[in-house]
Structure 1
């Protein structure tokens, strides 16, 4: 494992990281497809899935207590434009990625808020406390 920090361990971005191990590029899937094409966007998605699996294996192998959790993640729309973007992403993803589209009724039922117009539930999402991972692993060295 290689970790670069300007100051002490986990004092920079690693210590402030929210711990979301997201799949895909930093773009919405539709935007990634527009930029790279379907095949390349899905290669990036699968690569990030592989990276998350390698992190899980590392944590298991070294028995690091760093609050690793596998939870679904909902992205929700507050505007019609956001809902359309969610729907377009879902239409691409439903062909092989674990995602569920929520209409407004489902979003209200699941989130207990009348403000959401709908969204997507990504069934595979991972969180880890990055600072704990770094500091606990370094304590073993």
Structure 2
């Protein structure tokens, strides 16, 4: 039936045409589904291949992690040891400085004592000529 007033066209579709169109539509949908399933299988295959290829790298990374942990422990031990040695070195420096100060002080006191004795002897005045006569006779 045609209606020219509204410019609409409507007609009845015979049953065999309807079934053919329906079958074509189902084939089109099935073809689309097959393409999608094929692509999905390719993606899954690629994903599994990628996962399998990453397993050796994961094992290597785990090994590197263990080695890094061991290295960190060793470095920590060395840092502690170095700190202990630095502390000991600082104590030794302080001890040496103290000993040097004491030695300098002792030398200074000895020099003062000798100068005091010589000053006393020289200050006695008459003692020097007497000693000179004793030694040079």
TM-score (norm 2): 0.22
- Greater share of residues in strand: 1
**Higher-Rg member (1/2):** 2
Q: Which has the higher contact order (CA 8 A, sep 6+)?
A: 1
- Greater share of residues in helix: 2
TM-score (norm 1): 0.21
